[in-house]
Amino acid sequence: MVDDNELKRLRDAAVPAPARDAKARAFEVALRAYDQENISAVTQGSLGGLRLTERAQKLWSEIMQKKLIATPALAGLVALPIAGYATFHLLREQPPKFGGDEKISETLADKPATLKPTTAEPKQAPTGLEKDKKADADVESRDATDALVAPASPPKSESTIAGGTAQQESATGAPRQDAADAGKTNVAPPAPAPTGEFALDGSISTPSTSRAARMPAESKLMVQPPSTLPADQMQPQEENRDRVEDFKTNPVHAALEDPVSTFSIDVDTASYSFVRSSLKQGTLPQADTVRVEEMINYFPYDWKGPESASTPFNSTVSVMPTPWNTQTKLMHVAIKGFDVKPTEQPKANLVFLIDVSGSMDEPDKLPLLKSAFRLLVGKLKADDTISIVTYAGDAGTVLEPTKASEKDKILSAIDNLTPGGSTAGEAGIKEAYRLAQKSFVKDGVNRVMLATDGDFNVGQSDDDDLKRLIESERKTGVFLSVFGFGRGNLNDQMMQTIAQNGNGTAAYIDTLAEAEKVLVEDASSTLFTIAKDVKIQVEFNPNKVSEYRLIGYETRALNREDFNNDRVDAGDIGSGHSVTAIYEITPKGSGGEQIDPLRYGQASVDNGGVANADEYAFVKIRYKLPNEDVSKLITTPVTSANEISSFDQASTDQRFSVAVAAFGQKLRDEDATAKFGYDKIMEIATAARGADPFGYRSEFLSLVRLASALGGNR
């Protein structure tokens, strides 16, 4: 028996108004419970009694029928614990599934809710339509539950959630209609958004038959609107605005017609990280994102280095059989830079130029960037100098030049960075160079370190304009390196342009482990340049080599006359850097030629003779010391003494680098490796894994397996 006095006291007591979001969630739970009770044609749960969620529904029904709640405010207050009770047990009975592959082709938002009949009728076996409705109701119930417990994230528009493919709702809030339903008859018209006790405006209206229309405005993001796409394409897709440079694979050259190959070295590693990110997301990378030389040079190799700093690097050339073509050979050129000891490293003057624009507000962008630069700060010496400049709409100096010994001050400045605004890249670069000049270290390392997702949309955003700006600043002795973060907005082409012209490197950081590799393990080679404007030129002997092609370096090609022109910029080598270039050559008379011989050109070679006829090629490397403007030359003739009789006799590092070269060509779908399967690449790489203290080569093997699964072992 209920005490009337207690009821009167409860009725007259002042109670707080229910929160707006609490009302919305309670309303959604109530609707979901109603749909499950009235739409499901088959009884669910155990035979022992009502399900826990049904007990909550029954309790609520009894409370309302007996009019135990006298005021709407109290009704809303009591609804909250009941809604929480039902939601808790829904989660236990139907756990949310994250990352699944289920695709929803229709939701209850597309159909009028089925009203419970007022008269008892004989139950019949569920029809196919009823089964579909029941399945849709179960899926929607699980998805709504997932939305209630999902982590908080920045609000997005409905068009973003729908993958940008569905039409926008009308101004009245009517739900969008699927194209497939346009021709159907007897479709219930959309009803207005709910009002009354659970409405936000306090008005009263009749119940609606549309789930999307019944929901409060705050709850509509929980339901995916119908899409005009087929059912197998219903997963939301964000627009991909990554920008990469288009390029064609290097062609085969006839040594008699075009015996000279010239290119700039490349020590960037961005492509490998980008490819890895794509494969781990379950997608084969686009061909133009695969720069084979950057994949090869991602790995550390134990090439023979120079004995003293007076010669900044040493080159080793070998000729070996080609694993994917028995009629050709590989000419393997390995360069190793002098490794400066930590005690001999010059002082560093670094300016962190950090993009904090709105596009950086993603977990794999600014938060990862902060963690990465914290690692670098811990690597620097106490008398090194750090400055921090940010740009978003306007550029600003966050930290004036500060000694690395003031670590807490520097880390605090990094931690306080927040995203917002558009991207004023030009202003940021100019401010960064100003600070670099302010604390310039003579005979030291003066470098701007740009960290961005590559979105320069305010000010000087043209790549050519940026190139000229960077070129003019590098003449002062301040170099620039670029570190890319995140996907979907990455301007890889811009990163490559300004890094190449800023005498720096370009790296793509997609994980904290990659940040540690680039900024900690490879810090010396990333920061300390030992040679600049390094160019390679190879002249092939047509008496020994019929054809050749350079594997990779397409974006680093130079004209033949550029090799001796010291005004032409080229790549740089850092302390301890290793650089590898591989040519596939066709020995004369091997039968593997792809180009028909000239009718009249061969006689001059055979009759007139050729100097140094026993050489395969002549390799020339031109470079400048960091503080000099006149280049120096290193030459290496390639003879039979450089030849290795079988591929298995090549060193572990040589064989592994060839496996990486094959993998890169395979991802680009090049003709040379069309008949060379991923299993063969895996076999070579596994046998040549060797010492792998950081697990880089083991990770490579996993990427080959992923590519094989995604693209087939063709």
Task: Sketch out the chain's domains with CATH numbers.
Answer: 4-230 (no CATH), 253-340+530-595+611-711 (2.60.40.1230), 347-525 (3.40.50.410)
Checking if the pLDDT of 219 tops 70, the result is no
Long-range contacts, 4-13 (Cβ 8 Å, 24+)? 7/68, 7/70, 10/70, 10/74, 11/70, 11/71, 11/74
Cβ contact 555:245 at 8 Å = yes
Checking if the pLDDT of 369 tops 50, the result is yes
Please report how the helices 425-438 and 463-474 are oriented relative to each other, as an axis angle in degrees rounded to 10.
0
Confidence of residue 150 (pLDDT cuts 50, 70, 90): very low
Cβ contact 423:450 at 8 Å = no
CA dihedral over 391, 394, 395, 400, signed as positive or negative: negative
DSSP notation for 354-405: EE-SGGG-STTTHHHHHHHHHHHHHHS-TT-EEEEEEEESEEEEEEEEEETT
Name beta bridge partners: 243: 491
Query: What average pLDDT score do residues 445-469 get?
Result: 73
Cα dist. 230→178, 249, 632 in Å? 10, 36, 62
In the chain, the percentage of residues whose pLDDT exceeds 70 is 63
Query: What average pLDDT score do residues 428-448 get?
Result: 91
Checking if the pLDDT of 32 tops 80, the result is no
Checking if the pLDDT of 632 tops 80, the result is yes
- The number of beta carbons lying within 10 Å of the beta carbon of residue 222 is 20
- Residues 6 or more apart whose Cβ sits within 8 Å of residue 486: 360, 362, 364, 365, 368, 453
3-class SS letters over 348-368: EEEEEEEECCHHHCCCCCHHH
Checking if the pLDDT of 675 tops 50, the result is yes
pLDDT of residue 54: 56
pLDDT of residue 213: 39
- Residues 6 or more apart whose Cβ sits within 8 Å of residue 344: none
pLDDT in tens, 285-325: 999 999 999 999 999 999 999 988 788 999 999 999 999 99
- The number of beta carbons lying within 10 Å of the beta carbon of residue 101 is 6
Confidence of residue 64 (pLDDT cuts 50, 70, 90): low
Mean pLDDT of the chain: 76
Checking if the pLDDT of 223 tops 60, the result is no
Checking if the pLDDT of 558 tops 90, the result is yes
* CA dist., res. 291 & res. 507, Å (int): 13
Greatest mean pLDDT among 483-492, 589-598, 704-713: 704-713
In the chain, the percentage of residues whose pLDDT exceeds 90 is 46
455 or 269, which is more confident?
269
* CA dist., res. 641 & res. 680, Å (int): 28
705: which DSSP letter?
H
Q: Which of 419, 396, 418, 400 is nearest to 410 (CA)?
A: 400
179 or 256, which is more confident?
256
* CA dist., res. 713 & res. 705, Å (int): 9
pLDDT in tens, 461-501: 565 777 787 888 888 889 999 999 988 777 788 788 888 88
Token output for 605? 């070679």
Query: What average pLDDT score do residues 679-693 get?
Result: 96
* Whole-number CA gyration radius for the chain: 33
∠ Cα 56 62 64 (to 5°): 105
- The number of beta carbons lying within 10 Å of the beta carbon of residue 64 is 12
Checking if the pLDDT of 555 tops 90, the result is yes
Burial class (CB in 10 A: 0-12, 13-18, 19+), 286: middle
pLDDT of residue 396: 84
Q: Which of 499, 531, 618 is nearest to 336 (CA)?
A: 531
| Farthest CA pair distance, the chain | 123
Burial class (CB in 10 A: 0-12, 13-18, 19+), 192: middle
pLDDT of residue 712: 61
Amino acid of residue 306: P
* CA dist., res. 706 & res. 712, Å (int): 10
